[in-house]
Amino acid sequence: MDGTFNENDLSRVVEADRAHIWHHLIQHKPFETNDPRIIVEGKGMRVWDQKGKEHLDAVSGGVWTVNVGYGRESICKAVYDQLMKLCYFAQSAGSIPGAIFAEKLIKKMPGMSRVYYTNSGSEANEKAFKMVRQIAHKKYGGKKTKILYRDRDYHGSTLAAMSAGGQDERNAQYGPFAPDFVRVPHCMEYRKHELDGAPDENFGEWAADQIEAVILREGPDTVGALCLEPVTAGGGVIEAPEGYWQRVQEICKKYDILLHIDEVVCGVGRTGTWFGYQQYGVKPDFVTMAKGVASGYAAIACMVTTEEVFDMFKDNADDPMNYFRDISTFGGCTAGPAAAIENMRIIEDENLLANCAAMGDRMMGNLRALMDKHKVIGDVRGKGLFLGAELVADRATKEPVNEKLAQAVVADCMAQGVIIGVTNRSVPGKNNTLCFSPALIATADDIDQITDAVDGALGRVF
């Protein structure tokens, strides 16, 4: 390499990528023998790679992010105009797009009141965790520092977020973790046989009662918060069963425990409502969000809380410690809220929540039909355009399919020009769930193209 670089020379770009990029999420050794793939361009639901091959993106940028689709000129223009006016100022002061987006967001979240801007989902979650700890010190004499999290849930890649990580395979090599994070059992109906004593009836209430059992074991005066995903994402697209959320809310109230809902994936329309928790009648104390907030056009994440929580951090002006002693440098970037305002306008004006719900129903119908046809599909589940199909070697025992076969399905779809995802890959013995999260603009033809590709792939692989 001679140091000259022309981004239009795509083989040269591939060379630079292979030589210098440490990619996310992948094992590099096998990757190096694969065909390289650089995504060059995107428009609507589709992306093109460096060879000019078109792909229908059924996972919104790989990780549930590009909710309004690619190539949105109006978002780019809003970001450009804002950057020319003011690119950045720390959030110790305010900014025009920051204030406008916060007001618009709060209008979608009755009961919530304050927005704390940050860069990533992990960081947004850490802000809430720190607030819980500070409340424990201020209000409960240093007790109630414990934060409960659920088996199979994920809350981010930083160390405290990993301490609340319910996916052992991700955590295995990175301990020790932060103290006072305590796990509660999963609530996955399809795999309830893994849970001792799980009943046939009223599993939802029973699963929530397992949280209460953990609280009683730990001591209610030591537990400050419970952190849950509305629909578990990377852990296998898991929607809680009927009766679960109501009991969760009762339990939090009974033991004075703050409820933190992680909407990093589900937030901003993915499940067919603005936020996933709104489908279950839950009243959270903290809501965190990231991916769909600006659909990947700019990096922005938000930690949103109530006026009641906010008040605890400002009620004594004479005490110099009485505030949230925290900063997120890039929480002051104005590109994020500028993009988020336009992202929200698009979702409203194009009626994308309704489209998400309708296309989600269509996709669920298609997946159920595939389940009738292919016995390797043991379960289909999810909400809105956030769906999963779990692959099993044996429907009776629910033994997970070999993960290499699950990956072969993804590769076959890719060869057909459809990008789908799989959770828990490279985890022998864990469930392997194909996952689908197309942009909220998906049409019936897009949905059918995705499920037709899966149909073909399952036929060839199994």
Select 57 or 446, whichever has its Cβ closest to ligand PLP: 57
Give the nearest distance from C-beta 59 to ligand PLP in angstroms. 12
Nearer to ligand PLP, 158 or 222 (CB): 158
**206 or 286: whose CB is closer to ligand PLP?**
286
Both tokens of 297, joined, read: 């056009």
- Give me the least distance between CB of 139 and ligand PLP, in Å please: 27
**Minimum distance, C-beta of residue 300 to ligand PLP, in the bound complex (Å):** 10
Least gap, CB of 164 to ligand PLP (angstroms): 9
**267 vs 461, beta carbon nearer ligand PLP:** 267
Shortest Å distance, C-beta 2 to ligand PLP? 36
C-beta of 125 vs 271, nearer to ligand PLP: 125
How far is the C-alpha of 138 from the C-alpha of 232, rounded, in Å?
Answer: 32
Q: Which is nearer to ligand PLP, 234 or 378 (CB)?
A: 234
How far apart CA 335 and CA 294 sit, in angstroms, is: 9
Closest residue to ligand PLP: CB criterion: 121
Residues binding ligand PLP (CB under 6 A):
63, 120-122, 125, 154-157, 229, 233-234, 262, 264-265, 290
Comparison of 57 and 212: residue with beta carbon closer to ligand PLP: 57
Output 340 or 457, the one with its CB closest to ligand PLP. Answer: 340
Q: What is the largest CA-CA distance in the chain?
A: 70
Q: Least Å distance between CB 232 and ligand PLP?
A: 8
Give me the least distance between CB of 124 and ligand PLP, in Å please: 8
Q: What is the smallest separation between the CB atom of 64 and ligand PLP, expressed in angstroms?
A: 7
